[in-house]
Amino acid sequence: MSPQQNPEITRKVLVTGASGLLGGAVAALLRAKGHHVRTFQRRPSAGATDEVLGSLIDPAAMRRATEGMDAVIHLAAKVSFTGSWHDFVSTNITGTHTLLEASKHAGVKDFVFVSSPSVAHFGEPLAGSGAGTADPERARGNYAKSKATAELNALAQDAPDFHVAAIRPHVVWGPGDTQLVERVIERAKGGRLPLLDHGAALIDTTYIDNAAAAIVRGLERMEFAHGRALVVSNGEPRPVGELISGICAAGGAPAPRLNVPGWLARGAGSVIERVWLAAGARNLVHDEPPMTRFLAEQLSTAHWFDQRETREVLDWAPEVSIDEGLHRLAAHYGGVRPRKANRTQVR
């Protein structure tokens, strides 16, 4: 039995981006399984016993981080709906390349690149689709384009003595999430959260515990996962309006009432993004814009995925349903949300 298949074998695993919600959950799960975890981030984190601080594009920092490691799970990235292409290239493309080179030099055997389904989402609805091939030319927005390039570069390094797998968790959320949950609740409370096309688009998401477990399984099942890109989700597609309303209810915010046609939001998003970037270049704006074309597409087109290959390769299935996740989210915010019967999952 290989080390990847035997959960009793303790490994030394580097986790980049462990200060984020998903990276922190991955590091905690690895520790709970008995692995030695080293984290890499820019700023010190509370309670870390083995961490390296620095930048992804600093080869010396990467050599320090990977020295003596058996495996790497790479989550650190610039994640934003907008921003300059240079910034995305520096972190997501150059940073990943620097880490790959340092990992190979250090004798790392397994490398899990945490990617995004957006690398193969080209603005059209995805209904029961497979992972698809990353395409930086057709991907929408600088984040998706840069992650697509980084994923292709990473998988190209897969070799008999250096296994690489790409895991693409789709729309991760849960207690403590500032990327999706906090923004939804904040904008809903301020009356600035519209639904596009009445929130009818069917989308799937991934509860935080499920995403972390799938990523760790990618490492444990590297013998079968290497060379592949696998999309991870709960397998419970729902109308986006229903999910947003559930998050609002959990956080004590009113459900959105304003409806905007998807075509109008997509056009407006393109204009807003250009204006926002121009203002940001003059240091006048530092937050995310209220709408971008990419965000409008995400909110107005279906995107849910066939999970059969993922579950077979990883020998994994999500343990926390969407309804249970919303119940936990409500508990996090001090409320109580009644549990519903689990829906049939789409595989």
Sequence ranges of the domains in the chain: 12-175+206-233+306-319
Q: Look at residue 207 and tell me whether its pLDDT is greater than 80.
A: yes
Q: Look at residue 346 and tell me whether its pLDDT is greater than 50.
A: no
Chain-centre distance of CA 174, in angstroms? 12
Q: In the chain, pLDDT over 70 holds for what percent of residues?
A: 82
Active site residue 207: no
| pLDDT, tens only, 121-159 | 887 878 888 888 999 999 888 999 999 999 999 999 999
258 CB-contact burial (10 Å; exposed 0-12 / middle 13-18 / buried 19+): exposed
pLDDT of residue 141: 85
Give residues with Cβ within 8 angstroms of 63, minimum separation 6: 102, 105, 106
Q: Look at residue 29 and tell me whether its pLDDT is greater than 80.
A: yes
- The whole-angstrom separation of Cα 17 and Cα 104 is 19
Q: In the chain, pLDDT over 90 holds for what percent of residues?
A: 59
Name the residue type at position 153.
N
User: Using an 8 Å Cβ cutoff, are 232 and 117 in contact?
Assistant: no
The CATH number of domain 12-175+206-233+306-319, selected from 3.40.50.2000, 3.40.50.720, 3.40.190.10, 3.30.70.3150: 3.40.50.720
pLDDT of residue 307: 94
| pLDDT, tens only, 277-324 | 666 544 334 466 665 555 666 676 788 899 999 999 999 999 999 999
Q: Look at residue 184 and tell me whether its pLDDT is greater than 70.
A: yes
Catalytic residue among 88, 113, 143, 294: 143
333 CB-contact burial (10 Å; exposed 0-12 / middle 13-18 / buried 19+): middle
User: Cβ of 224: how many Cβ atoms within 10 Å?
Assistant: 16
- pLDDT level of residue 258 (50, 70, 90 thresholds): confident
User: Using an 8 Å Cβ cutoff, are 47 and 36 in contact?
Assistant: no
Least confident among 81-90, 207-216, 217-226, 282-291: 282-291
